């Protein structure tokens, strides 16, 4: 006989480990001829230490094995388990069921992405945009004989932007991503800024051609939802606004300086980097 759990509400004082909560999960099975997503309710145990991802795993293991979703590390590192929880982009491994009691907890696929099945979205557009910003160190100079050392100040300059885990919560939160399929998006631009601010990188002008466009930084209207959604506090909105200043500076240089002087002025690390030595 299956275990039964009494219902729990926020004000009953019932032990959470003996209660239940309803998860209202979006289902979409195009292979079965479904043309539109539907929702399906599942009653699951409400445990103090269960995240939304644990609830999905319980459904998958004990109630409905046909449910599809992505997850991997369950530690907020891999970025695979991003979904909408009660309408907000969240890592489901970090969103705890008790915070949504008495429920129901709505779980939907990330917005602004095509849905493949149930809670699984197609991320090909993001993966195609990422290499456009050249997210690697560009340096045509011969490598140093030893380590290419950096000061703590130089590392701190870009470290925040290096914390991105490509969870795509910022893309789901961004209204411009939903309106313009060609917009590079918050994570890609923030990652470009991570390398622009790296004292070892010489690729500022290479990225400028891609980023200083309507599909790049100038498409951003600074709503700031990307920064609110980011689980790693990368602040993509801040990175974009900072890059707008750099791009405006480069445009001014292009207007007032001859090409040869402009090349000398912009050759090497970006002017905004801190801790560089002459």
Q: Which domains does the chain have, with CATH numbers?
A: 16-121 (3.10.20.30), 124-266 (1.10.1060.10)
The helix (H) or strand (E) run that includes residue 93 is none
Q: Report CA 69 to chain centroid distance, whole Å.
A: 17
Structure confidence at residue 269 as a pLDDT band (50, 70, 90): very low
Arithmetic mean of pLDDT over the chain: 88
pLDDT digits (tens, 9 = 90+) for 35-92: 999 999 999 999 999 999 999 999 999 999 999 999 999 999 999 999 999 999 999 9
> String of b and e for 229-242 (b: at least 16 CB within 10 Å)?
bbbbebbbbbbbeb
Residues 6+ apart with CB under 8 A from 266: 204, 205, 250, 253
Question: C-alpha angle with apex 116: 110 to 121, nearest 5 degrees?
Answer: 25
Q: Give the pLDDT score at 131.
A: 95
Asked if residue 155 lies in contact with residue 138, where contact means CB atoms within 8 angstroms, the answer is: no
Alpha carbon distance 6, 16 (integer Å): 10
Q: What is the pTM of this model?
A: 0.83
pLDDT digits (tens, 9 = 90+) for 201-222: 999 999 999 999 999 999 999 9
Which of 214, 136, 156 lies closest to 180 in space, CA to CA?
214
DSSP, res 144: P
Q: Give the pLDDT score at 18.
A: 60
Q: Give the pLDDT score at 275.
A: 53
Average pLDDT of the residues in 240-265:
75
């Amino acid at each position: 006989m299956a275990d039964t759990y009494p219902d729990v509400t926020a004000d009953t004082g019932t032990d959470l480990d003996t209660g239940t909560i309803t998860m209202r999960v979006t289902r979409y099975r195009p292979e079965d001829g479904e043309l539109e997503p539907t929702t399906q309710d599942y009653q699951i145990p409400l445990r103090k230490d269960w995240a939304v991802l644990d609830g999905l795993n319980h459904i998958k293991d004990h109630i409905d094995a046909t449910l599809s979703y992505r997850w991997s590390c369950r530690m907020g590192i891999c970025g695979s388990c991003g979904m909408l929880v009660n309408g907000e982009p969240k890592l489901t491994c970090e969103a705890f069921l008790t915070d949504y009691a008495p429920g129901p907890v709505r779980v939907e696929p990330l917005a602004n992405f095509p849905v493949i099945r149930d809670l699984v979205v197609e991320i090909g557009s993001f993966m195609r945009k990422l290499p456009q910003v050249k997210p690697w160190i560009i340096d045509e100079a011969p490598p140093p004989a030893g380590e290419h050392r950096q000061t703590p100040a130089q590392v701190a300059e870009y470290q925040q932007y290096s914390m991105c885990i490509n969870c795509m919560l910022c893309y789901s939160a961004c209204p411009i991503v939903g309106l313009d399929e060609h917009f590079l998006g918050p994570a890609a631009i923030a990652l470009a800024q991570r390398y622009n601010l790296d004292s070892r990188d010489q690729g500022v002008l290479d990225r400028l051609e891609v980023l200083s466009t309507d599909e790049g930084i100038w498409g951003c209207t600074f709503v700031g939802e990307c920064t609110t959604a980011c689980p790693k506090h990368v602040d993509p909105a801040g990175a974009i606004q900072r890059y707008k200043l750099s791009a405006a500076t480069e445009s001014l240089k292009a207007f007032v300086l001859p090409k040869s002087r402009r090349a000398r002025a912009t050759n090497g690390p970006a002017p905004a980097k801190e801790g560089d030595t002459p």
